[in-house]
Every structure is written in structure tokens, then in C-alpha cells.
Amino acid sequence: MAESGTQLFARLEARRCLKDIEPRLFADDGGPDHGEVVELYGPEGTGKTELLYHLLCRCVLPVAAGGLEVDVVFVDTDYSLDMFRLVSILDNRLNAGVSTSLTSARSNDAALRSCLSRLLVVHCCSSSQLLLTFHFLETTLSSRPSVALLLIDSISAFYWPDRSEGGASVTRQEEKLSKCSELMARLLRDYRITIFATCHTIRRSSSGPSSSSSASEPDRSYLCRSWQRLVTHRLLCSRQEAENKLAPADGGNRELRSRQVFSVHCSSSWMGTKASRVSSFTVTDGGVEFT
Amino acid sequence: MVVLLEGMCPGLDKDLLRSLRAADIRTVEDLVSSDIEDVAQKCSVSYKALLSIRRVLLAQHTAFPVSGADLYEELLSSTAILSTGNPSLDKLLDSGLYTGEITELSGGPGSGKSQVCFGVSVHIAHRLKQSVIYIDTTGGLTASRLLQMLQTETDNTDEQMEALQRIHTFRLFDVCALLDCLYGLCSGGLHKARVGGGSVKAVIVDSVSAVIAPLLGGRHNEGMSLMIQVAAALKTMAKDFSVAVLVTNHVTRSGSGEVQPGLGVSWSHIPRTRILLERVETGACVSRPGRRRVTLVKSSRQACRIKEDFDLQRWSGADGEAPSGKRKLDQADP
């Protein structure tokens, strides 16, 4: 298909590499490069969406506040984007960054608005609409060369409706997600963006000594093969149980608040090598804080 | 899956449709994903015409990206926080039910979920003067109980009648009727319910697990798919019409023996906020049979596992008889 000169430049021009997006999550020098896909997998309440907000803020904030100033496209498949929480994290980080100089409410507002204008949000309500949206996003990607990150929350939202629509044949069940994955592979190749996607668990992990070896591990990916082939880094999120880690409270608070600590196990496999890393974080008003 | 039909867009006439079908292109997705040059050759149509049809169809059926700034502006103007009427519950929910979100209330049998739902609907109908849609799937809703609760709020029978008129009830007992009802509400029912005075600000489904739990388990996946469809309908309604959705759920015991909300892992991602209601088991409980403890299980705004105690018999929390003075005026934030 013929493309115009501007489209060619938009495609070939180097988009911002996101290797340094969060070095504390990935193994040494193993951040997501151009064209790589990171999957955040975990049960409910393990901080996946918070991590997405953290990465989003890191991308849209200005360089002065510790960000990368790139555009982000957020594909929201289950209406889980909480704009107020996102704005409060952005506010917190913007204020922390310029705490020494005098800030007026208007300049803060303007900074916030410029950060938010780097974010594009798309809501999808079915997997066929998701497929069509990716086709449409191709034009968006070619017209906005500053888009470097595509966030999908979550890629598993249509798993059950697709399975039921596909009937008995597994190929038909996975057909739509396979088509989406193939299209995503083409977008990754042509436009060299990075994709982060969350995937919810569908099986509860059986705890205790009664779990037999024949039971399938709950951490195994259940989505179609084409998607599994795309994923280069897998972040397994979980809650750290039992010990209530007492995180030191802010000065002035008399009581020590015990904050839930989450842990992330990152396993990356690219170019034949494998690497892994475990990190942990808590969630505060200012977003994710690594411990 | 959107099937290609004649007249869907200018240029898509019967002949073109027939030649597309012969080339095995039946739906919009097929057309959009296929190679246009290839198809143009096979169907002997001009490449430009097919390209413009593809563009129009894509624009018609895709979801449009919205800038974050515009989305934030829109949410600022349309989101409201509805106080539930009970100060302890409000504290737990970070000042009340947020519109545009699903809040889940789970509890064992007899823990008072329906009573909490009645309290919330009476408060919204009477104090906040907004309409409420109450979908009852258990048969536990009685107007006399609502009237009883209203009578503790006000003695004026006109006001009581007005408040009762603002609560629209639906009684259904299976999941297809529930889906029908939700789709009907989305496509016009919510506007009709406005006639009573005050727009619909809350939709309460008591309980969503009663219609879905019987379908789960077993070899067929129909149950899971229907559950996700109900969730999608509720979320779309919450977001598009700016209403607060409150659903109730039963509880089960986890592998380690602790109580957790039911309907499984796939449902756990759906509600934005989840609270767990339990009876307070203490020895000196005989004099206060309405004592309940509520725990925050999932929230994006507050630390989890904070607990609050309240009394079901005193919904507004005021211990004294005098209605004025100490009671705060609960108003929805504009």
C-alpha cells in the first residue's frame, strides 16, 4: 500500500525508547525495548492498575518532574481507568518536582493539562471493536510520532464472551484475540512502539499443602498462542501475605500505618536469554513507591 | 461481529456486497483486516472506492480516542458523590457512592445487605431528591419497609409519597430478564424514569449473585459469559449515564477459611470498590441486634481492610431523637 512521505517519516522516525521507564522493575538493563510487549499478570488487588498509572505518569510528565514527555495511548476495555486517581498521582509528582520554587495554582493547572493532553484514551466494549480500534490506531500512530507507549487494560476482558461465542471449537474461540495479536505484532514492527497489557487471573491459586501437582498452575497464561508469542516480559504481581510491613508514616502522624506490600516477579525472555527479578512496592497517595 | 449490509455506507450497493461475499468477506472486521488491493482485483472494483468504504466503515464502528484532558474535564462536570446516609459507611467509601463506578456490598445471609440497600435508596430519594432504580432479584423488597424507614426521616406524608415515587423497582429472577432490563434502561428507560422528578443517580441490584451463581460451575461457559455481559451492561450504564451502581453479592470461604466475596475471581475485577458486611459477634450484643461491622476489601482511594461499625436500626447515625442541629446536611457534590 502506498504511503505518503510524511507517513514514511512518521513510521521510520525513532520513537522514544522506553528501556529506562522503570529500571527497578526489570532485570539489569533489561527494560522493554522497541517492539517489546510486557504483560502484567495477577489476581485482583495486587496493584496492576497502580503500576500502569505509575508507568503512565512516568511517560507523560515533563522532564523537569522526572518524566519522559512521550505520548501514551490507553486502551480501556473494562472501564477501569480512574481519572481522579491518575490526576492525584500526577499532581503529587508535579508538586514534588517543583517544591522549592514558587508555584501558582494556574501554572500547576497548565502543567497538569499539558500532561493530560499527551494521553489518549479509547474505550472498547467487545473484541471485534478492539480489532477495529487497533486498525484505527494505525492512523493515529502514523500521525503522532511522539506516541511511544500503548497501554491495554486489560487484554483478558473479553476472554469469557469470546469463549462462549466460539462454541466448541478452540480456534474459533481464540480467533478474535489472535487477529488482534497479529495486528499488534505488525504495529510493533512497523511503528516500533512498546506495549504494556494487564491480564487478570481466572483461577484462584490454591494455597496450602493440598495443592496437587496435577492441578494447573494459576500463573500460566491462558490466552491464545499468538498473544503468548508476543510477550517478551511477564510481570507476576502478588500480595505479600502475613507480615504487616510497617511502613514509616509521615512526620506528624502519631500512629504507624501498616501498608500492604506488593511484590512483582519479572521474567523476561528475549533473544534466547532469560532473566528475572523480584521487586516490591507499596501504594501511597503519590502512587507506587518501591521498597 | 458486524455483518456487512446493503446501504451501510455510500457506495456499498447490492452488487458490491455480492462480490464481497463471493470473496468470503462477510463482516466489517473481515473487510477492514483484508488487503484492499487484493479484494479490489478479485471483485473488480476500483481501489479508491473500496478504500473510502473501508474508511467510512472504520469510522462508524470504531471507538474514538479521547484526549486525557477532555476526559478529565467531562468527568469533573459529570461525577457526583452520593452520600449513603450513614456516616460510618460514608467514611469507609471515602464520602459515599461515586457515580460512574460499581460498588459491591457482600455479606452472609442475614447480615443486612438488603437493609443497607433500602437505607441508601431512601436517603437518595428523600434527602438528595434524586431517583433510584432498584432491581430486586431476591424478592426481598417491600414497600412497607421503605415507608417505615421514611417515616423515621419525616412525618410529612406528602414528602414520604414523593420519595417513594422516586424509587423505581423492577422484580426479576433470572439473568436474561436482568440483561433485558439493563439494556432497556440504557436505551431510554433512564430518561423515562426522570419524569418523577430528579434524574436517576443510582441503580441498585440486589442481588446480582442470586441470578448468576446458579449458572457458574459445570462444563459450559455460558454462565461466565453471561456474568461478563451483565458486568459490561452495568459498567456502560454507570459511565454513560453517570449513575452510581451498587450491587450485592454473597460470600464464600476461601481455602484458608476466611470469608470472601463470592462469584469467583473473574468477577473480582469488575467492581471498583468492595465492602464486606458482617454481624458483630460479641457477648453483650443482645441489646443492640442491629450492630454490623463493615470492612473495605478493595478500593482505589483508601487503604484496605479498614473497618467501621454501625447500627442498622439507626441509619443516619444520630443517637438522639432531635433531627436538627447535630445532623449534617448530606448533599451531592455538583
Q: Which CATH number covers residue B138?
A: 3.40.50.300
User: Chain-wide mean pLDDT for chain B?
Assistant: 85
Residues 5-44 of A with CB under 8 A from B: 43-44
Q: Are residues B80 and B52 in the same domain?
A: no
Test mutation, B72, B75, B182, B226, chain A, max A CBs within 10 A: B72
Residues of A in contact with B64 (CB under 8 A): 122, 136
Q: Residue B195 has what pLDDT?
A: 60
Read off the pLDDT band of B25 (50, 70, 90): confident
Percentage of chain A exceeding pLDDT 70: 81
Min Cα distance B58 → chain A (Å) is: 7
Test mutation, A40, A53, A83, chain B, max B CBs within 10 A: A83
Q: Are residues B81 and B46 in the same domain?
A: no
Q: Do A200 and B266 touch (CB under 8 A)?
A: yes
Asked whether residue B321 carries a pLDDT value surpassing 50, the answer given is no
Q: Which amino acid is at A184?
A: M
Q: Residue B327 has what pLDDT?
A: 33
Q: Do B265 and A203 touch (CB under 8 A)?
A: yes
pTM across the whole model: 0.86
Q: Are residues B89 and B231 in the same domain?
A: yes
Residues of A in contact with B255 (CB under 8 A): 204, 206-208, 210
Q: Are residues B286 and B205 in the same domain?
A: yes
Tell me what the mean pLDDT of segment B258-266 comes to: 87
Asked whether residue A209 carries a pLDDT value surpassing 50, the answer given is no
Q: Do A200 and B304 touch (CB under 8 A)?
A: no
Q: Do A179 and B29 touch (CB under 8 A)?
A: yes
Residues 62-121 of A with CB under 8 A from B: 73-74, 78-80, 82-87, 113, 115-121
Of B125, B138, B123, nearest in space to B193 by CA: B125
Read off the pLDDT band of B248 (50, 70, 90): very high
Tell me what the mean pLDDT of segment A268-291 comes to: 81
Residue B166 lies in a domain: yes
Q: Among all chains, which residue has been given the C-alpha cell 517544591?
A: A99
Tell me what the mean pLDDT of segment B152-175 comes to: 90
Residues of B in contact with A208 (CB under 8 A): 255-256
Please name the helix (run of DSSP H) or strand (run of DSSP E) that holds residue B293, with its range, or none.
Answer: strand B291-298
Size of interface A-B (CB pairs under 8 A): 148
Q: Are residues B170 and B95 in the same domain?
A: yes
Top pLDDT among A71 and B191 is at: A71
Q: Does ipTM top 0.90?
A: no
Tell me what the mean pLDDT of segment B135-153 comes to: 90
Min Cα distance B227 → chain A (Å) is: 9
Q: Are residues B51 and B168 in the same domain?
A: no
Asked whether residue B282 carries a pLDDT value surpassing 80, the answer given is no
Structural domain tally of chain B? Answer: 2
Of A113, A126, A156, nearest in space to B73 by CA: A113
Pairing relation of β-strands A231-239 and A261-270? antiparallel
Residues of B in contact with A113 (CB under 8 A): 69
A245 reaches B (C-beta below 8 A):
no
Residue B91 lies in a domain: yes
Question: Where are any strands of DSSP class E within A14-132?
Answer: 37-42, 71-76, 119-123
Q: Which three cell numbers stand for residue A239?
A: 500480595
Q: Residue A254 has what pLDDT?
A: 35
Q: Looking at the partner chain, which of A136, A179, A260 has a beta carbon nearest the beta carbon of B33?
A: A179
Read off the pLDDT band of B103 (50, 70, 90): very high
Min Cα distance A19 → chain B (Å) is: 24
Residues 126-155 of A with CB under 8 A from B: 128-129, 131-133, 135-137, 140, 154
Question: Alpha carbon B310 to chain centroid distance?
Answer: 25
Q: Do B265 and A161 touch (CB under 8 A)?
A: no
Among A25-29, A206-210, A270-274, the least confident range: A206-210
Of B231, B126, B225, B241, nearest in space to B193 by CA: B241
Q: Are residues B132 and B245 in the same domain?
A: yes
Per-residue pLDDT tens over the stretch A150-191: 999 889 889 988 888 888 888 888 888 999 999 999 999 888
Q: Do A113 and B69 touch (CB under 8 A)?
A: yes
Going from the C-alpha of B7 to that of each of B13, B16, B27, B40, B57, the distances in angstroms are 6, 11, 14, 19, 11
Q: Do A154 and B269 touch (CB under 8 A)?
A: yes
Cα–Cα distance, B248 to B250 (Å, whole number): 7
Read off the pLDDT band of B323 (50, 70, 90): very low
Q: Are residues B279 and B311 in the same domain?
A: yes
Asked whether residue A33 carries a pLDDT value surpassing 90, the answer given is no
Q: Looking at the partner chain, which of A1, A132, A200 has a beta carbon nearest the beta carbon of B32?
A: A132
Q: Residue A271 has what pLDDT?
A: 67
CB A156 within 8 A of CB A200: yes
Q: Looking at the partner chain, which of A45, A121, A208 has a beta carbon nearest the beta carbon of B255?
A: A208
Read off the pLDDT band of B286 (50, 70, 90): low
Cα–Cα distance, A16 to A190 (Å, whole number): 14
Q: Are residues B55 and B19 in the same domain?
A: yes
Residues of A in contact with B59 (CB under 8 A): 136
Cα–Cα distance, B89 to B296 (Å, whole number): 10
Q: Exposed (0-12), middle (13-18) or buried (19+): which is A120, by Cβ within 10 Å?
A: buried
- Domain holding B25, by residue range, is 14-60
Residue B173 lies in a domain: yes
Read off the pLDDT band of B333 (50, 70, 90): very low
Cα–Cα distance, A245 to B317 (Å, whole number): 34
Residues of B in contact with A116 (CB under 8 A): 67-69, 71-72
Q: Do B68 and A123 touch (CB under 8 A)?
A: no
Number of residues in chain A: 291
Read off the pLDDT band of A204 (50, 70, 90): confident
Q: Do B256 and A208 touch (CB under 8 A)?
A: yes
Cα–Cα distance, B209 to B260 (Å, whole number): 14
Of A200, A124, A119, nearest in space to A159 by CA: A200
Q: Are residues B157 and B23 in the same domain?
A: no
Q: Looking at the partner chain, which of B37, B61, B235 has a beta carbon nearest the beta carbon of A132?
A: B61
Residue B2 lies in a domain: no
Residue B259 lies in a domain: yes
Residues of B in contact with A119 (CB under 8 A): 67-69
Q: Do A207 and B236 touch (CB under 8 A)?
A: no
Residue B324 lies in a domain: yes
Residues of A in contact with B269 (CB under 8 A): 44, 78, 80, 154, 200
Q: Do B225 and A204 touch (CB under 8 A)?
A: no
Q: Are residues B152 and B219 in the same domain?
A: yes
Residues of B in contact with A226 (CB under 8 A): none
Residue B67 lies in a domain: no
Residue B160 lies in a domain: yes
Q: Are residues B240 and B106 in the same domain?
A: yes
Residues of B in contact with A140 (CB under 8 A): 65
Per-residue pLDDT tens over the stretch A3-23: 677 767 666 667 778 878 888
